[in-house]
Amino acid sequence: MLTSVYISFPFVSGAVEVSVRSPFACWFSAMLYCFGGSVLSSLMLGEPPVAFLEKNTNILLASSVWYLIFYCPQDMFYRCFAFLPLRLLVAGMKEVTRTWKITAGVAHADSHFKNAWLVMVAVGWARGAGGGLISNFEQLVRGVWKPETNELLKMSYPVKVTLVGAVLFTLQHNQYLPIARHNLMFLYTVFLVVTKVTMMLTRSATSPFAPIEAALGHMFFGMQQTPSKVKGESAVSSNGSSVCEQSSSGQHRDGVKKRQAKKTE
Amino acid sequence: MLTSVYISFPFVSGAVEVSVRSPFACWFSAMLYCFGGSVLSSLMLGEPPVAFLEKNTNILLASSVWYLIFYCPQDMFYRCFAFLPLRLLVAGMKEVTRTWKITAGVAHADSHFKNAWLVMVAVGWARGAGGGLISNFEQLVRGVWKPETNELLKMSYPVKVTLVGAVLFTLQHNQYLPIARHNLMFLYTVFLVVTKVTMMLTRSATSPFAPIEAALGHMFFGMQQTPSKVKGESAVSSNGSSVCEQSSSGQHRDGVKKRQAKKTE
Amino acid sequence: MLTSVYISFPFVSGAVEVSVRSPFACWFSAMLYCFGGSVLSSLMLGEPPVAFLEKNTNILLASSVWYLIFYCPQDMFYRCFAFLPLRLLVAGMKEVTRTWKITAGVAHADSHFKNAWLVMVAVGWARGAGGGLISNFEQLVRGVWKPETNELLKMSYPVKVTLVGAVLFTLQHNQYLPIARHNLMFLYTVFLVVTKVTMMLTRSATSPFAPIEAALGHMFFGMQQTPSKVKGESAVSSNGSSVCEQSSSGQHRDGVKKRQAKKTE
């Protein structure tokens, strides 16, 4: 089932070119993409980030998938997974592993720090959305450097939904939610899979959280409400790209400039 | 008292713009700015760098200050702290916390490594000046990347004075200085506060160490002595900018070029 | 004997210029260059990366060499080591330390993880070729940032041969090779020294692995075989630069573009 994660790597932009220039950098980048959550959460908890290499079977499986996708003659393996129903299946399975990763991260953080709910959220989030959060450094391995964008500045939908999940599972772990863990896991996974499949089928990149975000942004951060733009991006590519731009009206931008001028004078 | 640290964040250039684009990235950047010393020293000692999230009260306080400064209606909170006497008070308090951090870092390093005075200096320095030392990565969170400059290439005055402090407290810890620790702490703090307040009042960015540095640079590193330039920069902005440029005469530069040509031939 | 490592630092491009602008950044960069393997392998195993600072003698020795090379009057120290026979001796000694580092890394990883041969290879490699692998960040200290290139995208010969060594010593450690460890160490070191000295004397940068790599690349990754270009680069500068470019024929590149267009559509 973990295989599903490995299959989404070649959709990362620029991966194919690197696969020709340097198979090793491509492989390492793919491993960071697949096991980024494990690496990041280990770093955050002061544990060996190479621990993921200990599971030889996982690495072998991921490497096989990586090899077949990039170097299979006639591109046969890739073509199979470009077939829509199979891609939906794989994408759905990938979301299931996300739930596991988040709960594992929350439980792991709890075993290190007692009652540190912020640490639990952070580690659960890092474990679940690791590949996205370290995307700047995963790109660096491939010789790409885009400092002007990162997943914190413009969160993609998967990173957002993982953050929500990490908060939910932390609340549940600390018994603030009147729901059993396996029920929450089931509901959250169903939500993830349904949203992902819907986004892939409708080729829409609109986050289901967009209205809530707009309301919260307006209430707490004084952001102007704008009609959310429905962009016709492929849902598959939405993993690496931004989903919802927080455009601000000209009036607002003027206000910012005034404040900025004032503050830096 | 820790609040004082949190208040200086909005003076970081570009912070206001990010606060509009992405409150989350702004918050994370502010946390790195405030707790950078803790994160960096934890990383250096192989401890969980997320440990700072364990202290919920501190995070809550820092987040409140961050929120009030950036999103308070009419910018009232910010305007209060733009009032000079209050800003002097806050800046003075911030310097007091610096002393605490350095001594805590030195003691922490000593508990890990016995008699490793270089580790003690490094950890004390990292704890005291962490926000500055990781500024490249704190900027990256905000989508800014300035590789051509960092605090090692051009140390700002706070980073320099923290290094001096780390050396002094390490010497004191190893009983090389004939002074009790609380006396040294008192004297060092007074020096920090007086220098900081003077620099803010005179709007001068000249480091008190400039003559010593020039002498040492001349003696050990063959640097040409130049009349130190007194620049009329705002003392507030001196936190992130360079204080003393080591300008070298044309003659010296020629010597360097010759050496370089020779070495790379 | 370790001194030999420290002497190769000034050959890093741009180091001389930094030595004038900021002695501290130059020193820190030199330390990262010399002890990069130790720092990287510590980070990978979740241990304090500052541990290398604990060995005061090593640091003092490295710092003395660094100081004499960059700031010695008349450049005398540097001129001595620019004398070819002495440079050959130093380069040979440096390769001997490489063997030690790899075996130490493999053994260290084995003490942390049982039977995790991938971890052993990774840590052995990181310890042996650390300075090269973290070159992006070592350059960042000096204000240089070259994201488009790194040692994974275009492995230099020292990094490649260290990887081969890490694989060999891991196999030997797990008793897959019918050879005693000290024999393998001896043979590997002789190979390293002979290759290095040959490359320096012939000023050739052609990797001895080039034919094997081309064959493997052709067999597994569908790379086109091209006549390997013998470049007249100085062997000394080959530490930081790429050795063998994997040029692909126009026909191949077209194939890549087609695949890429297909995959990102």
Distance from CA of C110 to the nearest CA of B (A): 19
Mutate to test the interface with C, among B152, B244, B257 (most CBs of C within 10 A): B152
DSSP label of B70: H
Alpha carbons A239 and A224: distance in angstroms, whole number = 26
First to last CA, chain A: 57
pLDDT tens for each residue of B54-92 = 888 889 988 988 888 888 877 788 888 778 888 888 888
pLDDT of B202 reads 87
* Among the listed residues B207, B213, B242, B238, the one whose alpha carbon sits nearest the alpha carbon of residue B226: B213
pLDDT at C232 over 50: no
Choose among C16, C47, C71: nearest Cβ to B263: C16
Exposure string (b/e) for C69-90, b if CB count within 10 Å is 16 or more? bbbeeebebbeebbeeeebeeb
Distance from CA of A100 to the nearest CA of C (A): 24
Of the ranges A32-36, C122-126, C176-180, the best mean pLDDT one: C122-126
**Is the Cβ pair C142, B148 closer than 8 Å?**
no
Mutate to test the interface with C, among A8, A35, A53 (most CBs of C within 10 A): A53
Q: Which residues contact A28 (CB under 8 A, 6 or more apart)?
A: A141, C152
Residues from chain C contacting residue B149 (CB–CB below 8 Å): 143
Higher model confidence: residue C118 or residue B250?
Answer: C118
pLDDT tens for each residue of C156-174 = 888 999 999 999 999 999 9
Choose among A45, A117, A256: nearest Cβ to B50: A45
Helix (H, G, I), strand (E, B) or coil at A153: coil
Window 199-218 of A, Cβ < 8 Å to C: none
pLDDT of B235 reads 37
* Among the listed residues B201, B249, B22, B219, the one whose alpha carbon sits nearest the alpha carbon of residue A217: B22
Entry field: residues in chain B: 265
What chains are in contact with A, requiring at least 3 Cβ pairs below 8 Å?
A: B, C
Residue B147 burial by Cβ neighbours in a 10 Å radius (0-12, 13-18, 19+): middle
Choose among B10, B71, B145: nearest Cβ to A222: B71
DSSP label of A50: G
On whether residue A264 sits in a domain, the answer given is no
pLDDT of A231 reads 40
For residue A15, CA distances in Å to A22, A132, A230, B66 come to 10, 15, 27, 39
Q: How confident is the model at residue C253 (pLDDT cuts 50, 70, 90)?
A: very low
Helix (H, G, I), strand (E, B) or coil at C16: helix
Alpha carbons B113 and C56: distance in angstroms, whole number = 12
Angle at B49 between CA B152 and CA C33, to 5 degrees: 40
Alpha carbons C164 and C167: distance in angstroms, whole number = 5
Exposure string (b/e) for A21-59, b if CB count within 10 Å is 16 or more? bbbbbbbbbbbbbbbbbbbbbbbbbbbbbbbbbbbeebb
Q: Which residues contact B186 (CB under 8 A, 6 or more apart)?
A: none
pLDDT tens for each residue of A119-178 = 999 999 999 998 888 888 888 888 888 888 888 888 888 899 999 999 999 999 998 889
Alpha carbons B192 and B180: distance in angstroms, whole number = 18
For residue B232, how far is the Cα from the chain centroid?
Answer: 20
B48 touches chain A (CB under 8 A): yes
pLDDT cut 90: percent of chain C above it? 27
Q: How confident is the model at residue B13 (pLDDT cuts 50, 70, 90)?
A: low
Entry field: residues in chain A: 265
Mutate to test the interface with A, among B18, B47, B53, B238 (most CBs of A within 10 A): B53
A238 touches chain C (CB under 8 A): no
Extract the tokens encoding C72. 């010695």
Alpha carbons A67 and A61: distance in angstroms, whole number = 10
Query: Across residues C45-50, what is the average pLDDT?
Result: 92
pLDDT at B243 over 50: no
Q: How confident is the model at residue A225 (pLDDT cuts 50, 70, 90)?
A: low
Distance from CA of B71 to the nearest CA of C (A): 35
**Is the Cβ pair B25, A117 closer than 8 Å?**
no
Tally of domains within chain C: 1
pLDDT of B85 reads 87
pLDDT at B237 over 70: no
**Residue B155 belongs to domain spanning:** 3-247
| Phi, psi values for residue B47, rounded to 5° | -105, 165
| Phi, psi values for residue C236, rounded to 5° | -65, -40
* Among the listed residues C71, C229, A122, A137, the one whose alpha carbon sits nearest the alpha carbon of residue B145: A137
pLDDT of B3 reads 56
pLDDT cut 90: percent of chain A above it? 27
**Is the Cβ pair B17, A256 closer than 8 Å?**
yes
Helix (H, G, I), strand (E, B) or coil at C46: coil
Residue C265 burial by Cβ neighbours in a 10 Å radius (0-12, 13-18, 19+): exposed
Residues from chain A contacting residue C123 (CB–CB below 8 Å): 50
Q: How confident is the model at residue B8 (pLDDT cuts 50, 70, 90)?
A: low
* Among the listed residues B106, B108, B31, B92, the one whose alpha carbon sits nearest the alpha carbon of residue B66: B31
A67 touches chain B (CB under 8 A): no
Q: How confident is the model at residue C75 (pLDDT cuts 50, 70, 90)?
A: confident
Of the ranges A103-117, A146-160, A249-263, the best mean pLDDT one: A103-117
On whether residue B265 sits in a domain, the answer given is no
On whether residue B238 sits in a domain, the answer given is yes
Residues from chain B contacting residue C148 (CB–CB below 8 Å): none
Alpha carbons B1 and C70: distance in angstroms, whole number = 45
pLDDT of A56 reads 86
pLDDT tens for each residue of C175-191 = 888 999 999 999 999 99
pLDDT of A250 reads 38
A83 touches chain C (CB under 8 A): no
Of the ranges A73-82, B121-130, B224-233, C76-85, the best mean pLDDT one: B121-130
Query: Across residues C135-144, what is the average pLDDT?
Result: 86
Higher model confidence: residue A94 or residue C10?
Answer: A94
Q: Scanning the structure block, which residue is given the tokens 């990774």?
A: C122
Higher model confidence: residue C206 or residue C40?
Answer: C40
In this structure, the number of other CB atoms found within 10 A of the CB of residue A178 comes to: 6
**Is the Cβ pair B53, A154 closer than 8 Å?**
no
pLDDT of A99 reads 93
Q: Are B262 and C69 in contact (CB under 8 A)?
A: no
Amino acid (1-letter code) at residue A193: V
* Among the listed residues A35, A34, A17, the one whose alpha carbon sits nearest the alpha carbon of residue A26: A17
Choose among B17, B75, B143: nearest Cβ to A147: B143
Q: Scanning the structure block, which residue is given the tokens 């540095």?
A: B213
pLDDT of C255 reads 43
Alpha carbons C188 and C161: distance in angstroms, whole number = 10
Higher model confidence: residue C45 or residue B76?
Answer: C45
Alpha helices in A84-116 (DSSP H): 84-112
Q: Considering chain B, what is the average pLDDT of its residues?
A: 79
Alpha carbons C149 and B182: distance in angstroms, whole number = 50
Choose among B109, B152, B223: nearest Cβ to C25: B152
What chains are in contact with C, requiring at least 3 Cβ pairs below 8 Å?
A: A, B
pLDDT of B226 reads 53
On whether residue B258 sits in a domain, the answer given is no
* Among the listed residues B213, B233, B232, B222, the one whose alpha carbon sits nearest the alpha carbon of residue B154: B213
pLDDT tens for each residue of B176-195 = 889 999 999 999 999 999 99
Choose among C116, C223, C259: nearest Cβ to A16: C259
Q: Which residues contact A233 (CB under 8 A, 6 or more apart)?
A: A203, A205, A241
Higher model confidence: residue A261 or residue A125?
Answer: A125
Residue B79 burial by Cβ neighbours in a 10 Å radius (0-12, 13-18, 19+): exposed
Quote helix, strand, coil % in chain C, to nearest 5. Answer: 70, 0, 30
pLDDT of A236 reads 37
**Is the Cβ pair A48, C112 closer than 8 Å?**
yes
Window 126-185 of A, Cβ < 8 Å to B: 136, 145, 147-150, 152-155
**Is the Cβ pair B263, C11 closer than 8 Å?**
yes
Amino acid (1-letter code) at residue B238: S
pLDDT cut 90: percent of chain B above it? 27
On whether residue A265 sits in a domain, the answer given is no
Distance from CA of C199 to the nearest CA of B (A): 17
**Is the Cβ pair B264, C20 closer than 8 Å?**
no
pLDDT tens for each residue of B24-61 = 888 998 888 889 999 999 999 999 999 889 888 889 98
DSSP per-residue codes, B130-144: HHHHTHHHHHHHTT-
pLDDT tens for each residue of A168-201 = 999 999 988 899 999 999 999 999 999 988 888 8
pLDDT of A14 reads 67
Choose among A113, A153, A252: nearest Cβ to B25: A153
Q: Scanning the structure block, which residue is given the tokens 């951090």?
A: B101
A11 touches chain C (CB under 8 A): yes
Query: Across residues C238-262, what is the average pLDDT?
Result: 39
